[in-house]
Structure 1
Amino acid sequence: MNVRLRHRAGGGRRSLWPTAALVGYALLLTAVAFWPSPVDRGVDPALESALTWLHAHGLPGMFDYAFVERSANVVLFVPLGLFVALLLPRRRWWIAALTGLAVSGAIETAQLLLLPARFATLDDVAMNTTGALLGAAASLLLRRR
């Protein structure tokens, strides 16, 4: 059974998959964001070892642990921007980036106040918002097809 939803703003028909994907993603994001300890605990020695090996084999030094962590924060929020933007009229794609900013700000604030083992940073907010913006931009490309 293919369930479809009529989109009020554009009059076009859209499937419900972005809503279902957003709900699943929100559950995953909640688990990652509110895990009591840093989610990379236990992984960091292996990652450092892998980066050391890669640097010895030509990977530029700029690709360090901080780069990987920042990139992971960007990638983590791409689905949020994508799924939110797909639920909005095309002209309102930018709301998805603002949603990323608000969600990331709320997560970092909660981590600061409620999770003493986690590290709340403005850099995470910036990287997460960048990811949401990239996801929103990807939605524009998908809609062109």
Structure 2
Amino acid sequence: MSRAAARWLAGLVLTAYTVAIAALLLWPDAWSINRLNVAVYVWFLNRGVPPSMTPERWAVVWNVFLLAPLTFALALIAPRVRWWWWALLGLALSVGFEAAQDLIVQTRDASWGDVLANTCGAVAGAYAGSRLSARRAPR
């Protein structure tokens, strides 16, 4: 894939993911989000996920993967920015998400565990995107 095509794809992912994240995190009905999580968990459970993977653990996995595509795309779009800047942006976004859930939505519970999981995903996405971008850079 050419650099221009990778940037275009990253921009498309960035736009779609931003809209999806905003909808998911600011959705006022926490019960429907929980039901969606359980439905996806049951689907994967029926396809071989071990029973030790509870819905609560599954929610942590979702939180890890929440910001990974976003920071991955940002690292591809702006390869000269060091990956850890995107990781710090992920941390700031995660804190902002949890603050919005606590202060604005108020029917959702803010959690430092979610901040940690989101930040881990942001670090992984930013690092992977920077590595891919570095591999594709002309020498």
Q: TM-score, normalised by structure 1?
A: 0.74
Seen in structure 2, the aligned counterparts of structure 1 residues 84 and 15 have a Cα distance that, compared at 3 Å, is closer
Give the superposition deviation at 1:122: 0.6
Structure 1 Cα separation of the partners of residues 20 and 119 of structure 2: 17
Seen in structure 2, the aligned counterparts of structure 1 residues 44 and 73 have a Cα distance that, compared at 3 Å, is closer
Range 120-129 or range 85-94, more displaced: 85-94
Q: Is it true that 1:59 corresponds to 2:50 in the alignment?
A: yes
Write out aligned runs for 1:74-113 (5 A): 74-90=64-80, 92-113=82-103
Structure 2 Cα separation of the partners of residues 16 and 46 of structure 1: 33
Give the aligned partner of residue 127 of structure 2. Answer: 137
SS at match of 2:34: coil
Deviations along 1:44-96, one digit per CA (max 9) or x if unpaired, are 66567x39x76xx89262x2122100000011111111012123234611111
Give the aligned partner of residue 42 of structure 1. Answer: 35
Q: Which has the higher helix share?
A: 2
Root-mean-square deviation over aligned CA pairs? 2.8
Give the superposition deviation at 1:41: 3.2
* Contact map agreement 2:37 2:59 (CA 8 A) in 1: no
Structure 1 Cα separation of the partners of residues 20 and 102 of structure 2: 20
Q: Which has the higher strand share?
A: 1
Give the superposition deviation at 1:16: 3.6
Q: Is it true that 1:20 corresponds to 2:12 in the alignment?
A: yes
Larger radius of gyration: 1
Q: Which runs of 5+ in 2 are unaligned?
A: none
* Contact map agreement 2:67 2:121 (CA 8 A) in 1: yes
Q: TM-score, normalised by structure 2?
A: 0.77
Aligned residues: 129
Given residue 43 of structure 1, which amino acid in structure 2 is its aligned partner?
A: L
